[in-house]
Amino acid sequence: MHEEKNEKTFLGFWIYLMTDLLMFAGLFAAFIVLRNNTFGGVGGSQIFNMPFVLVETLFLLTSSFTCGVALLLAHEKKLKGVIAMLCTTFLLGAGFLGMELYEFSHLFSEGHTYQKSAFLSSYFALVGTHGLHITAGLLWMLILIIFILKKGLTQGGIRKITLMSLFWHFLDIVWIFIFTIVYLMGVAL
Amino acid sequence: MWNLLFGKLTWNSLPHVWYTIGGTLTLMLMGAVAAAVLTYTKRWKWLWNEWLTSTDPKRIGIMYIIVALLMLFRGALDAIMIWMQQALSVGSSTGYLSADHFQQIFTAHGDIMVFFATMGLLVGLMNLVVPLQIGARDLAFPFLNTLGFWLYVAGAILINMFFVFGGDFAATGWLAQAPLSELQFSPGVGVDYWIWSLQVSGLGSLLAGLNFLVTILKMRAPGMTLMRMPLFVWTTLCSSILVVTVFPILAITIAMLTLDRYLGMHFFTTTNGGNPMMYINLIWMWGHPEVYILVLPSFGIFSEVVSTFSHKKLAGYTSQVLAAIFVTILSLMVWLHHFFTMGAGADVNAIFGISTMIIAIPTGVQIFNWLSTMYRGRIVLSSSLYWFLGFVATFTFGGIAGVLLASPTADYQLHNSLFLVAHFHTMIVGGALFGLFAGITYWFPKFMGFKLNEKLGKTAFWFWLTGFFLAFIPLYILGYMGATRRLDHYTNPAWQPLFIISVLGFMVILAGVTTQILQIIISIKNRKQNMDLSGDPWDARNLEWATSSPPPFYNYAVIPEVHGRDAFWEMKKEMKENPQPANVEYKDFELPKNTPFGIYLAGFALLFGFAMVWHMFLIAGIGFVGMMVCLIIRAFDEETEYILTAQEIAKLEQERKDHIYA
Ligand code: HEM
Ligand SMILES: [Cu+2]
């Protein structure tokens, strides 16, 4: 019974992730169409600070790794390790989010708001949507940590960790696309 | 403070025109009557426990159909207003509606008919039939199913809310094409109502699509391989795949429009580098597959109906499945035919024109399969089959019109004319809706325990068919002569007779609707005569007929085993040869508990949507937090199921048999 339920849940969750990916695809498409529509204002190469974004990226990649470790430990029923790894993931994710918010506020203070040009609109919308997902993921992680502390590593608990980690890796992959298409190509082209 | 609480909502925006006040009063009156009846008969608890919080797909399906029929009625009111205006407003007369009001009406008409009437009927029928046909007891995610239903209801309420709470509705056409839908050109709250209504109900559709996809892939009875599935299941699968592929695009497109309107971004604006054409592309990338989401399930229904009433297995099963899959894939690659005139250039137009015309091939394959199924069959001309035969006429007609439109050169003349309007009504009414009528007639006895009156069903069909052609052939002609769509006034008086014929056609359709209402009332009254105890009133072929009518809430006490296509037909054959049924042994199984969280969550979504329309950001925040809290509570509830033990099942089964043979 549990087996069958897990199968359904995982398939359902994968499909959900694909729908989310399609939503991002829409935003990517919009960004690619609009990225040269700067309306006489700044373009990507003038505002992106690559070393900063690289550090940000490393935060997220590392958090994906620790999240994977948490799942491995969960299967070995090592409660303490799981909690420690989830907390590390949380902190790294929060660091990523903090850096992103800093970057946004910096752009705002320079007057590069999303109302200035279609390029900036699509940039803020795409990166911001990813940021919102990260926020949701962090909240999820927090609740999950509390849940595991209360109920231990039950069948349901492990399933929940698996789903959360799928989500987290997914955000990682989307970020890699953002890093490439928005930042690297933005600076290069 | 006022702003934070009430945003843009002021006394002046509350209803103050006769028709909105009238609408509000009528709604309040109806609500009061319903509440009084429920209180008087002490039915509140029953309603809440047995229906509103139910996770049983049969209950949810029936609720979908009820709401969808209400919406169909609402959309028909709009239709009659549009028709009357166009018939009256010719030459020097300007009719009885202002231009702005007229625009709001045709926008609401399109949205309500597509998103709430047709989609609602479809998802309702899928809920009723798919679990039974694949031999399952429920859907893969019962909670998401009630949630999806209630989000759909929330969307339906939101789209009608301007009547009660004031404001206007979008005057932009059913897809709110940018830049017209941008703040600059549509400063009122109309487009915002449109945005939140579709966003909320679209999420509901997405959940439904996901649910059916997983259900069909994971929960089929043992032995039912993919290539043994009934065709309604196949087409539901295809439709669900399209839903999960394109509804995210709709969601993100609407979200970008929202960002433009609420935060001053520039995705689709005419200034600061925005690109309105991107909106047109994105919305049709969803929009074209959507029309196949609507019509594919009807293809499935016709496959069931035709083979049942011909008493023959479906001819060319494999080609039928392949055709459905081909249509599914191809429908994702033709969206550009909706804006050939945009100026993409001859090459691009040619490619999309050809890919569009190719769709006619698999569609033709299906029609020939149905016809060859009937060939030399033992045909029973039931009213479901009438709807099928009518569909062959309308759909072929409309399809040919479609192929004509798919030629870019012709389309430059016919685009956005009444010819186009006639084309898609022929497809959606003559295709999707006729299919739904056939399906409802066909499956009605399964869920109600008695058949609908066949004679009135056939009368209704003839009204519909003649009315339909009478109403729409004039539109083809008018469009061909150059009548543009969405106009509240035509100066050329020579066109008026055709418009009047069209209205007469609509009257005939209304006679059909009246007959259908009569049919339901009379069938309920005479249900003793049309009672069906066998569970198999049509001598049908698929699993849903293997259980009693109406089915027990658990569908099957023992999950049937499938040994081939037309599973129930095979079972019946075997029963004849070997009438001694094997001793059945019941096993415990799990069923989902009822849950009120779907309704709570959708309630908060409604609050959120409404507050966003009026920029009441404090209340919107409350709505949002409410949704999140509901979601979290529900997600961490570990006891969402209960176990029905073998003893209980045995008892229930005995009672059921006693009841049937009593
Ligand atoms: C043989 C298959 C079909 C072909 C070749 C076809 C072709 C077309 C073309 C070329 C247009 C665009 C015309 C214009 O805007 O100038 C169009 C519009 C449309 N078609 Fe079809 N079509 C087919 C089937 C269907 C089906 C099955 C449905 C619905 C169930 C449908 C519903 C619509 C709708 C709703 C529109 C346009 C709505 C609007 O502009 O608001 N079509 N079709
Ligand atoms: Cu199309």
More confident residue, B12 or B547: B547
Among B639, B642, B647, residue whose Cα is nearest residue B557: B647
Q: Which residues of A touch B210 (CB under 8 A)?
A: 12, 15-16, 19
pLDDT of residue B1: 63
pLDDT of residue B656: 82
Average pLDDT over residues B393-400: 95
Cα(B18)–Cα(A185) distance, rounded to whole angstroms?
58
Angle at Cα B68 formed by Cα B64 and Cα B70, nearest 5°? 125
Question: What pLDDT is recorded for position B276?
Answer: 95
Give B506-526 pLDDT, tens digit per residue: 999 999 999 999 999 999 999
Q: Which ligand is located closest to the Cα atom of residue B367?
A: 1
Within 10 angstroms of residue B297's Cβ, the number of other Cβ atoms is 31
pLDDT surpassing 90 at residue B115: yes
Among the bound ligands, name the one nearest to the CA of residue B424.
Answer: 1
What does the pLDDT read at residue B255? 98
Domain that holds residue A137: 2-188
Q: Residue B264 — very low, low, confident or very high, per pLDDT cuts 50/70/90? A: very high
Decide: B267 and B259 in contact? Cβ < 8 Å: yes
Name every chain B residue with its beta carbon within 8 A of the beta carbon of A121.
Answer: 259-260, 265-267, 274
pLDDT of the residue at B93 = 87
Provide mean pLDDT across the span B549-557.
90
pLDDT tens column, A123-168: 999 999 999 999 999 999 999 999 999 988 988 889 999 999 999 9
Q: For chain B, what percent of residues have pLDDT higher than 70? A: 99
Those residues with Cβ within 8 angstroms of residue A11's Cβ, 6 or more apart along the chain or in another chain: B214, B217, B218
Q: Cα A127 to chain center, whole Å?
A: 9
SS3 B443: helix
Average the pLDDT over each of A168-182, B25-39, B514-528 and give the range with the smallest value.
B25-39
pLDDT over 80 (residue B602)? yes
- pLDDT recorded at residue B662: 63
Confidence class of residue A98 from pLDDT cuts 50, 70 and 90?
very high
pLDDT of residue B22: 81
The pLDDT assigned to A2 comes to 64
As a three-state string, the secondary structure of B99-146 is: HHHHHHHHHHHHHHHHHHHHHHHHHHHHHHHHHHHCCCCCCCCHHHHH
Q: How many domains is chain A partitioned into structurally?
A: 1
Write down the pLDDT at residue B14: 73
Rounded to 5 degrees, φ, ψ at B450 are: -150, 155
The DSSP line for B219-263 is: -PPTT--GGGS-HHHHHHHHHHHHHHHHHHHHHHHHHHHHHHHHH
Report the complex ipTM.
0.96
pTM of the model: 0.95
pLDDT in tens, B447-467: 999 999 999 999 999 999 999
What pLDDT shows up at residue B660?
73
**Mean residue pLDDT across chain A:** 94
pLDDT of residue B281: 96
CB-based contact B251:B75 (threshold 8 Å): no
Ligand 1 surroundings by CB, under 6 angstroms: B 291, 294-295, 337-338, 356, 359-360, 363, 399, 402-403, 405-406, 411, 414-415, 420, 423-424, 427-428, 431-432
Tens digit of pLDDT for each residue in A16-28? 999 999 999 999 9
CATH code: domain of residue A96: 1.20.120.80
Mean pLDDT comparison of B395-404, B568-577, B645-654, highest-scoring range: B395-404
- Measure B403 CA to ligand 1 centroid, in angstroms: 9
B383 in reach of chain A (CB within 8 A): no
For the stretch B166-218, pLDDT in tens is 778 999 999 999 899 999 999 989 999 999 999 999 999 999 999 999 999 99
Q: Provide the mean pLDDT of chain B.
A: 92
Looking at residue A1, its pLDDT comes to 52
The pLDDT score that the predictor gives to residue B134 is 95
